[in-house]
Chain A
Amino acid sequence: MYRYDEFDHEFVTARVAQFRDQVGRRVSGELTEDQFKPLRLMNGVYLQLHAYMLRVAVPYGTLNSEQMRMLAHVARKYDRGYGHFTTRQNIQYNWPKLSEIPDALAELASVEMHAIQTSGNCIRNVTADHFAGAAEDEVADPRPYAEILRQWSSLHPEFVFLPRKFKVAVTGAERDRAAIQVHDIGLHLKKDAEGRLGFAVYIGGGQGRTPMVAKKIRDFLPEEDLLSYSEAILRVYNLNGRRDNKYKARIKILVHETGADEIARQVEEEWERIRHGALKLPQGEVERIREYFAAPDTLTALPPSPALAIERARDPEFDAWVERNTHPHRIAGHVSVTISLKPIGGTPGDATADQMDLVADLAKRLAFDEIRVSHEQNLILPHVAKSDLKAIYDELVVAGLATANAGLVTDIIACPGLDYCALANARSIPVAQRISQRFGDMERQRDIGDLKIKISGCINACGHHHVGHIGILGVEKKGEEFYQISLGGSGDENSSIGEIIGRGFSTEEIVDAIETVVDTYIAKRESHDETFLAAYRRLGQAPFKEALYGTA
């Protein structure tokens, strides 16, 4: 994985010192809150419902065991022994003291981690497919490009005060596991007819109060033009994006109001001006960055593991876990493992310091020292020899991390909601927990099959409800929590925004309503192989509406 060079080290260390000085001046009264707030936000420090919250970047979701151990250490020393992995592949700590945050950041910097640009109207942490560099179906590893974008966008002077925040996601496979079509820029790394690498470029996707699926403005952008084209997009947005209304300031609104064709024309025009300039990527530099992400030399093809087959036959729970929580690897004899942070009845995405340490330990001993955070709020060991699966599984079981539910109905994305968030209108976590309990039976989950439930506690949609096969949006109505259901959303290569099915449900009713939706699907599906999403796209709203409200 990428290692800091001298410049990176100096830059991050200087930033910690700068923030330490700013915190000191805030505490001494030299800075007012109005002066300090934008400074703390630039360093990932929010003031949430109960306390400060520190969001630490995990660039493109990749980290090693030393970094994961540091996340555990920060959780213990500066927080309350746990952290929350987010849909942007980052981690959030819910209880740090302001005066101690510079110390925490200094410790994080010692393992090449930081909180820069995890907030504010700038280019945020670039996200990527969590199976990057490992997936069997991948054309090329998207992370070198995510890293190049990170270097270009870090404190880019032109883009630190954009109209609004800006999120970029990159995938290197046809199967989109990074939800690129609901990002401000989505990049699909692919090869052209001549075998050259480049990108399909999508812009203007996003969720929030005005969900939009991104528009493809270029089918193939040569690799070498990644930065100049990105800069052209950002420049058009920075100049023309609305600054008069926070809710209309994202690029998706600009694209929607101006039209994708016209925006594409403006981007191409700007790009023509700059494409042959300093931003052209030298091939040598791409190769240099790519080498950081090369798989370890010891990751070589292995013969099939007879022991695995025996263990699977012997232990049905292990067999189910292998079935659901492993993903095909490009190197024979290996898989990527999903470590579920969705235990039945648990808080989606939370991990204790001990659990983080265990994952770090497993990665170090048995998984080539690599860990990923997925946007679905799970952890991933991208490179695991099949012959080591049982050993890993056994340790995960002890730590409560072996729930065999990846991609199933209890693998729920949920935002922190009104339990933690200052912006939320309703709670998300307890709803996720109750749904998880309702569908906790593993056999039932497996029978239901692939089904993504995503829950947001307010219209900002951090819980991605718009792209949930079943989306749940919490609202406040006459002082009570209400939950609106939408169906048919998807964040993959065939992205769609879910459609609201009808009036909302109370806290007491919502779990029954979800069960009604699921039972309706089971009753109406053509076969076990027809997924919820496929069935919904075939059937439309009517049968679900009828089941929920008694009217078609």
Chain B
Amino acid sequence: MTDKLITANHLGDGLVVFLTAKGGWSYKLAEARVIPEAELEAALAVAKSQHEAGIVVDPYEIETTVVEGIPVPVRLRERIRAAGGPTVTYGEAEIAERAATLKHAG
């Protein structure tokens, strides 16, 4: 049986959040509660009530492994999502990165 995490988006800012051990939500994957299969149903019920209370949107469970105490979601999609942003730099940072690469190459 794989361990699970419960994730959702925060209603107000839309950002990705994880259900924590205290029953709250955190933007940090490291603070996510790793949920054994047997406890999943109860945890999902909590998450669903938070959806209904208008705190988060559309909670769902994802499969995870735990590496050195930190959860690492199994699917690539969930790893990217859990990272809180794209795998590429964006905006001004992207321009700076390309400039640095060019400088390095030149």
| Interface-side segment among B29-37, B38-46, B91-99 | B91-99
Asked whether A347 is an interface residue with its Cβ less than 8 Å from the other chain, the reply is yes
CB of B72 within 8 A of chain A? no
Name the one of B11, B84, B98 contacting A98, with C-beta atoms under 8 angstroms.
B11
Whether A51 and B90, one on each chain, are in contact in the complex, defined by CB atoms closer than 8 angstroms, is: no
Q: Interface digits, A28-65 against B, CB 8 Å rule (1 contact, 0 not)? A: 11001100000000000001111110000000000000
Find the B residue at minimum CB distance from A420: B86
Q: Give 1 or 0 for each of A330-342: 1 = CB within 8 Å of chain B CB.
A: 0000000000000
Chain A residues near B86: list those with CB within 8 A: 50, 419-420, 429
Q: Is B53 an interface residue (CB 8 A)?
A: yes
A47 CB contacts on chain B under 8 angstroms: 9, 14, 57-58
Q: What residue of chain B has the Cβ atom nearest to residue A400's Cβ?
A: B95
A80 within 8 A of B: yes
Contact (A352, B88) CB under 8 Å given A33-B51, A98-B13, A419-B80: no
Known A33-B58, A352-B92; judge A479-B74 contact (CB<8 A). Answer: yes
Q: Check B91–A427 contact: CB distance below 8 A.
A: no
In angstroms, Cα B33 to Cα A17, docked, is 40
Q: Is the interface of A mostly helix, strand, loop or mixed?
A: loop
Is A223's CB within 8 Å of the partner chain B? Answer: no
Bits for B1-18, please: 1 = Cβ < 8 Å to A, else 0.
000000001011111100
- B88 with A97: CB separation less than 8 A: no
Q: Residues of B contacting A145 with CB < 8 Å? A: none
Number of B interface residues at 8 Å Cβ cutoff, please give it. 32
Please measure, in the bound complex, the distance between the C-alpha atom of A479 and the C-alpha atom of B91, giving whole angstroms.
29
Q: Are B12 and A27 in contact (CB under 8 A)?
A: yes
- Known contacts A50-B15, A51-B14, A352-B91; is A418 also within 8 Å of B77 by CB? yes
Residue among B80, B91, B95 with max Cβ neighbours from chain A (10 Å): B91
Contact between chains at A347 and B94 (CB < 8 Å): yes
Complex: chain A residue closest to B85, CB-CB: A50
Q: Least Cβ distance of A171 to chain B in Å? A: 32
Most central of B51, B58, B90 by chain A CB within 10 Å: B90
Q: Which of B9, B12, B53, B90 interacts with A347 by CB under 8 Å?
A: B90
Q: Is A350 an interface residue (CB 8 A)?
A: yes
| Contact (Cβ within 8 A) B54 A430 | no
A477: min CB distance to chain B, Å: 11
Is A346 positioned at the interface, with any CB of B under 8 Å from its CB? yes
Known contacts A97-B14, A350-B94, A427 near B87 by CB under 8 Å: yes
| A536 adjacent to chain B (CB < 8 Å) | no
Instruction: State in angstroms the CA–CA spacing of A344 and B85 once bound together.
Output: 22
In the complex, the answer to whether A50 meets B51 with C-beta atoms within 8 Å is no
Q: How far is the CA of A343 from the CA of B89 in the complex (A)?
A: 14
Q: Which residue of A lies closest to B97 (CB)?
A: A345
Q: Say yes or no: A50 contacts B91, CB within 8 Å.
A: no
Q: Per-position contact with B for A420-433: 1 when CB-CB < 8 Å, else 0?
A: 10001101011001
Task: For the complex, give the distance between the alpha carbons of A96 and B13 in Å.
Answer: 7
Among the interface residues B14, B85, B86, B87, which one has the most CB atoms of the partner chain A within 10 A? B14
Task: List residues 2-27 of chain A with CB under 8 A from any CB of chain B.
Answer: 26-27
Complex CA distance for A430 and B80, rounded to whole angstroms: 13
User: Please, how many angstroms separate the alpha-carbon atoms of A82 and B96 in the complex?
Assistant: 14
The CA-CA distance from A27 to B53 in the complex, in Å, is 10
| Residue A481 at the chain B interface, CB threshold 8 Å | yes
Question: 10 extra interchain contacts, Cβ-Cβ under 8 A, other than A28-B54, A419-B87?
Answer: A32-B52, A33-B58, A49-B16, A50-B84, A97-B12, A99-B12, A343-B98, A344-B98, A352-B92, A427-B87
What 8 pairs across the A-B complex have the smallest Cβ distances?
Answer: A419-B86, A52-B14, A82-B91, A51-B14, A29-B54, A97-B13, A81-B91, A429-B88
| A residues in contact (CB < 8 Å) with B | 26-29, 32-33, 47-52, 80-82, 94-99, 343-347, 350, 352, 354, 400, 418-420, 424-425, 427, 429-430, 433, 476, 479-481
A-B contact pairs, 15 of them (CB 8 A): A27-B54, A32-B52, A47-B9, A47-B57, A50-B14, A50-B81, A51-B15, A51-B16, A95-B14, A97-B14, A418-B77, A419-B87, A429-B88, A476-B76, A480-B76
